[in-house]
Every structure is written in structure tokens, then in C-alpha cells.
Amino acid sequence: MSKQINVALIGNPNTGKTSVFNALTGLNQKVGNYPGITVEKKEGVCRLPRGIKAHIIDLPGTYSLNASSLDENVVIELLLNKNDKDFPDIAVVVTDVENLKRNLLLFTQIKDLEIPTLLVINMADRMRYKGISLDIDYLEAHLKTKIALISTRKNEGIDGLRELITNYKEVSTEPCLKTTDIDPAYFENLQKAFPNQLLYKLWLVITQDVNFGKTDRKEIDAVTSFKTKSKADLKRLQQKETIKRYQFINNVLKKGQTIDLSQAKDLRIKLDRILTHKVWGYVIFIAILLLIFQAIYDWSEVPMDFIDGVFASLSEWTKNVLPSGAFTDLIAEGIIPGLGGIVIFIPQIAFLFLFIAVLEESGYMSRVVFLMDKIMRRFGLSGKSVVPLISGTACAIPAVMATRNIESWKERLITILVTPFTTCSARLPVYLIIISLVIPKGKFLWLSYQALTLMLLYFLGFATAVLSAYILSKRLKIKSRSFFVVEMPNYKLPMIKNVAITVVEKTKSFVYGAGKIILAISIILWFLASYGPGDNFNNAEVIIKTEYASENLSEKDLQHKIASHKLEHSFIGIAGRLIEPSIRPLGYDWKIGIAIISSFAAREVFVGTLATIYSVGSDDEDTIKNRMAAEINPVRGGPLFTFASGISLLLFYAFAMQCMSTLAIVKKETNSWKWPVLQLAIMSSFAYLVALVAFQFLK
């Protein structure tokens, strides 16, 4: 049986920590949340030499152990609690060769916790380009650790890193320096009061709201033999500690690191002047978004057609091969169309995640944050709010969680409340199928009308989020003030491996997460649409044959009439009829009503629901798009999906809070049901009103 060790990956943001994690684990990783809190937890498995298996935890990025956010608290509390199942056997601190001085502050703090700590210096391939040289032997001796000089971009040094992790018992646990010199008497008294506790752990507990073991801050304050300090005095001691650490780091780097500025070749300043320009910066950002939306349509057309054909053939093959009966109908008309209605949109979703990953990996996303700060401030937000709003185009759930980096509670709350307005990837399947139905295929200049419509929906969602934020900033009486600070990472070519892993993992997460809901709903919908009460359903065949006895209908047309009659009088048809009066003013029929209700579980279920409803009782394997295009308006006649009803439906989904998961995550982040309930009521009412006005005006 192989031995397993815990490895904690720790580091400042933008040091390439995720790249190291991907290099070690590949696709052997999973993403979840820490128990009881909504902080992302990334875990992976790495096979090491001599049969050792490493359980690797990629901890949230942190600049130091002086926590100022929920993310940083997670790092500290894990490192303080030896009883935690994830407590590391070795801490691997990832640093950036260009920002070594700043990164080493965190390293020296972790060393004081007497955990075996390995130093990884990443981006070694940039050393010659930046004129940097390192004396590794000198650095190892004075930092009292082993150093892995690596380049994840060129996959250099990774095997050496695995070897060092394997030999973690050889890594020194001795602190780099003696920080207690900042106030010897105070720390001496603290040690006397708690002789069995590590001094630096006690210091972290005193200065921050974290716990470890059975000791907490209240217990320390209650000890009569130990005189505590005021918050102001503790803050001054923290500042002294930081200064002392940087003095030590400066002295080490004087000999251990050499930088020849004459060799540095940097285009960063020139690029920043363009990409953060008060005019051209916005023009470039909009142009990039236009390219993304055009590519989502153009690049995905071929794989979508292929997937559509495969699922249609699979459904037909199932009917022909399996014996007739309810089970075969369930598979062919319930499960396969339901899943096919989601799988067909994997190309668009994958391309969306691809572009987002490239923008983040390249360093451009930080420039967008900086660029948008002045605009965001006018609407009661900060530049950091742009990250959740933009990442909301992938999914509102991680976007809401990303607001933890916003220090001001008011700005954070407002961002949480308005983020669901941004168009997430779950809305994408709805948009794409409705746009393809009601928007013509022509082009304006070099952009198709359909791509322009999709782009406008994204902008509409973003604009509504910003406008809502402005209203909330005026209405919410919460006193809060914050300062905008953002780090500008160096530009770099995105690593293909990192981008690929991001696309695969996030697309897989989207499909699997939606798939569970879709499969359950597809089965329920198939049952509700395949069975019904009373003679109208049970005697459908007799009723239809009698009604159309005088007409010479073909067998195919007759079966279609029977299927339509059964669907109308099934359980789902009855439910649809009940809600139809409330949605008819929006231009929808009872079938669309059923899809809207079921999509509250997850927006992407809308398409799967329609695929299931339109497939029941019919042998025709037309695509769902053609089925919807053939629907007749029962009141006015003509196509049900006109330009007016299509735009109405697009606007409804642009504004409605159609996602239980997002409501749940908002409740967790705000620790109250007040805000998600208000979100649901206001967004849904607004969506209904806008859709109503749009349809009545356009019809």
C-alpha cells in the first residue's frame, strides 16, 4: 500500500501557483468548497517517486499570514490546525522570479510555523530576458530550505520538484529569523503563559480572528499572568514584524540575487499605455468581446451539427433495436432528447470558457479591472466588481463567490445582488436556440445579425447590472469605505496546458452539474407527458380516428394528431394549461410555460425540457429548432415563435432569476434569506414586465 502525504501549495496571487498545481496533478483534480464556507477548494493527486502519493491542496492566493479576507483566513486556519485532515506534511511556497522580494515575506512567515517549507521559484525561463541571476546554494543556506527552480511554461524542473516533495523529511523546519526581537519582553511573557504552544501560532491567534487547537483569543485574553496589548499596539508590532522580515529578505537577496537592468527587455509599459488608454482601452476591450461572440457562433457550427445528428440517430436506433414499451419510450423520447438538448451546446460553452481562460492567463483581465474602476465607482462599485461581473458570463455561482476579494461590505453586497444579471453560460443554450429561430442569418458589415444579437444580450445584462448597482448604492444605507488596489501581472503567452485543463474541468463541471438535474427532470417530464388522467388521454386514438374519419390522413399525420392530443391531455399538458393565461400576454403557449417553470432548477434545462416535450409521441426526428419553428399559435394562427415572441423570451431570460443554485449561494454569502428572496422577487417581476412590454409593442 502506497503512502499518502498532504502537500499545501501556497503563494501570492499571480505567481503561477495554478500552473504548478496543473503540472503536478494534470486532470487528477477536483474543485469543491471548504466545509461550511464558500471558498473554493482545489485538490489533486500526484504520483511521486518510491510509490508515494501526494494529496495536493491549492490554497487561495494570499500575500501574507496577516489575513484581511475570508480566502486568507482559510490558509491561516489550515496551517494552524494540526488536527485538520488536510494539514500539510510539507508546505510548497510558489514564488515568481520577478517578484521574489515580495513573495518571500509569506515564505518567512510560514517558516516560523515550523512546517517543512519548500521554496519554488517559478518562471525561470524569464530570468535571462529580465537580466536576473540567482545563487541557489546561497539562497538555500540563508533561507534554510530546499529550492526548486522551475518553469511550468517549458515544463522544466517539475521532476526535481517531485523529488524534493518526496524527500520532505529532509527539509528544514528552522525559522529564517527571530521576529520576537520586535518586543522581547512581550513575547517572553506570552511564552511563559503558554509554554506548550508555538510562539508564532500564539501571535497569529492574538492579532487575527483565527483559532487553532483548543486555544483561541478569548482564552489568551483570560490568562491573568499575561498582559494583552491594545489593537493599536498590536498593529504597530505587526508593522515592526513586517519591516524586520523585509530587512532580512533584502540582506539575503543582496548576495543571492543579481539583476542587470541593462539586459531587461520589457514591452509591458508600451502595452499598458495602449490597453489601459482612456479611449483605446475601451475600444480594444469591445473589439475583443465582438470577436469572442462571433467565434462562438462560427467555430461551433460544425460540431453542433454533428452532435445533433448523433443524438437524433441514437434515439431512432434505440426505438428500432429495443423492444416496444414504456422503458424504450423513456430512453428514446425522454432521456436521450433531454441530454442531447444540453450536449449540443458544449461547443459554445467550451469556447466561452476558452476565451475567458486565455484573457486571465495572459494578464489582460487585470488591465480590464483597472480600466473599468473609474466607471464602476460612479455606480457604487469598485474595479474589483468587474471580475465577478465578467466571470458571471461563465457561471453566477463562482462569480458571486469571487466577490470575497472586495473589502467593502456594501460594494460586495451590491456586486452579489447584481451579478446574476450578467449573461451566464446556462443562458447561452436558451439564447442560441431562440436567436436561431427569430433572427435572420444576414450580416451587418462582417458580423452576423445573430452574433450581434448575442453580443447585445450580453451588454444588456451587464448594463442592467451596473444600473441596478447605482440604484442599490443610493438605497442601501450601509456605511462603508474602501480603496481600490489591483496588481498588474506581467503579460505572458497563455500556457496551452493551463487553458486546456481550465476548459475541460469547467465544461465538465457544467455538463455534469446540469446533467444530473436534466436527467431527473427529463424522466419526470417524460412521465408527466406520457401519462394522463381520464378518457381524453386513455382513449386518444379512438377520439382522433373518429374526429378525422372523414379525412384521408396518412398514417404519419394520424399518429402526429394522436400524439398532440395525448400531450395536450397529459399531466404536463394540464399543468401547462393552468399557467397559460398568465404567460399568454408574453406571447408564450403552455409548452413554453412548462419549460420556464422547470428551468428554475437550472436555466439550461429549458432546452432539454422542450426537447423532451416535442419528442414525446412522435417518430419524427427533426431537431428541436425545427419543431419549435413549426409550432402554430393557437389564438392568432401562424408561427408561435415570431420576432415579437422570440425577443420577449430572450428578454425574460436576460433578467429573470431562473437559478436555484445561485439563490442558495447568495444565501450563504450574505448569511441571510432576505437578499436572495428580494433578488428572486424583483428580478422575476422585472423580467415579466419587460417581456410583456416588448411583446405587446413588437407584435
Strands 117-122 and 90-96: parallel
Residues 649-674 have a mean pLDDT of: 82
pLDDT score at 278: 84
Q: Classify residue 474 by burial, with Cβ atoms within 10 Å: 0-12, 13-18, 19+.
A: exposed
List Cα–Cα distances, 171 to 109, 146, 305, in angstroms: 16, 6, 56
CA 116 to CA 246: how far, in whole Å? 21
CA 538 to CA 692: how far, in whole Å? 37
**Within-domain flag for 568:** yes
Contact in structure between 43 and 131 (CB atoms under 8 Å): no
Q: What percent of the chain has pLDDT over 70?
A: 83
Q: What percent of the chain has pLDDT over 90?
A: 19
pLDDT score at 676: 87
Strands 4-11 and 53-58: parallel
Residue 38 has pLDDT above 60, yes or no: no
Range of the domain at 529: 504-698
- How many other CB atoms are there within 10 angstroms of residue 446's CB atom? 8
**Within-domain flag for 317:** no
Exposure letters 554-565 (e unless 16+ CB within 10 A, then b): eeeeebbbbbbb
Residue 68 has pLDDT above 70, yes or no: no
pLDDT score at 406: 73
**496 vs 215 pLDDT, higher one:** 496
Contact in structure between 167 and 4 (CB atoms under 8 Å): no
State which of 132, 150, 170 marks the end of a domain.
170
pLDDT score at 6: 93
CA 168 to CA 242: how far, in whole Å? 28
- How many other CB atoms are there within 10 angstroms of residue 384's CB atom? 24
pLDDT score at 618: 41
Which residues are 690's β-sheet partners? none
Cell numbers describing residue 115: 512546517
Phi/psi for 31 (5° steps) reads -120, 130
Residue 34 has pLDDT above 80, yes or no: no
Which residues are 58's β-sheet partners? 9, 42
Confidence of residue 27 (pLDDT cuts 50, 70, 90): low
Query: Positive or negative CA dihedral for 184, 189, 190, 194?
Result: positive
Strands 117-122 and 29-33: unpaired
**Within-domain flag for 242:** no
CA 539 to CA 537: how far, in whole Å? 6
List Cα–Cα distances, 595 to 576, 591, 602, 677, in angstroms: 9, 6, 11, 22
pLDDT score at 35: 43
Residues 553-568 have a mean pLDDT of: 74
Task: Give 156's DSSP letter.
Answer: B
Q: Classify residue 577 by burial, with Cβ atoms within 10 Å: 0-12, 13-18, 19+.
A: middle
CA 398 to CA 331: how far, in whole Å? 33
**Within-domain flag for 268:** no
**Within-domain flag for 275:** no
Contact in structure between 405 and 387 (CB atoms under 8 Å): yes
CA 353 to CA 355: how far, in whole Å? 6
State which of 170, 202, 218 marks the end of a domain.
170
**349 vs 226 pLDDT, higher one:** 349
CA 693 to CA 306: how far, in whole Å? 38
Residue 215 has pLDDT above 60, yes or no: no
**Within-domain flag for 349:** no
Residues 481-503 have a mean pLDDT of: 74
CA-CA-CA-CA dihedral for 675, 681, 684, 690, to nearest 10: -110
Cell numbers describing residue 264: 531587461
Confidence of residue 220 (pLDDT cuts 50, 70, 90): low
User: Among 343-347, 401-405, 458-462, whose mean pLDDT is lowest?
Assistant: 401-405
Return the HEC string of 470-490: HHHHHHCCCCCCCCCCCCCCC
CA 431 to CA 385: how far, in whole Å? 25
The count of C-alpha atoms lying within 13 angstroms of the C-alpha of 272, restricted to the half-sphere facing its C-beta, is 14
CA 450 to CA 454: how far, in whole Å? 6
List Cα–Cα distances, 699 to 315, 361, 559, 646, 692, in angstroms: 37, 46, 33, 11, 11
Kindly calculate the radius of gyration of the chain based on its CA atoms and give it in whole angstroms. Answer: 30
Residue 183 has pLDDT above 50, yes or no: yes
**479 vs 160 pLDDT, higher one:** 160
What is the overall mean pLDDT for the chain? 80
**Within-domain flag for 679:** yes
CA 661 to CA 400: how far, in whole Å? 11
**602 vs 167 pLDDT, higher one:** 167
**Within-domain flag for 310:** no
Residue 148 has pLDDT above 90, yes or no: yes
* pTM as predicted: 0.63
pLDDT score at 5: 92
pLDDT score at 651: 94
- How many other CB atoms are there within 10 angstroms of residue 490's CB atom? 14
How far is Cα of residue 158 from the mean position of the Cα atoms in its chain? 28
Look up cell 540582506; give the residue: 251
CATH code, 95: 3.40.50.300
Considering its fold, how many domains does the chain have in total? 2
Task: Give 49's DSSP letter.
Answer: G
What are the residues whose beta carbons fall under 8 Å from the beta carbon of 438, sequence distance 6 or more?
641, 642, 643, 645, 646, 647
User: Among 214-228, 332-346, 466-480, 499-513, whose mean pLDDT is lowest?
Assistant: 214-228
Residue 557 has pLDDT above 50, yes or no: yes
State which of 170, 202, 220 marks the end of a domain.
170
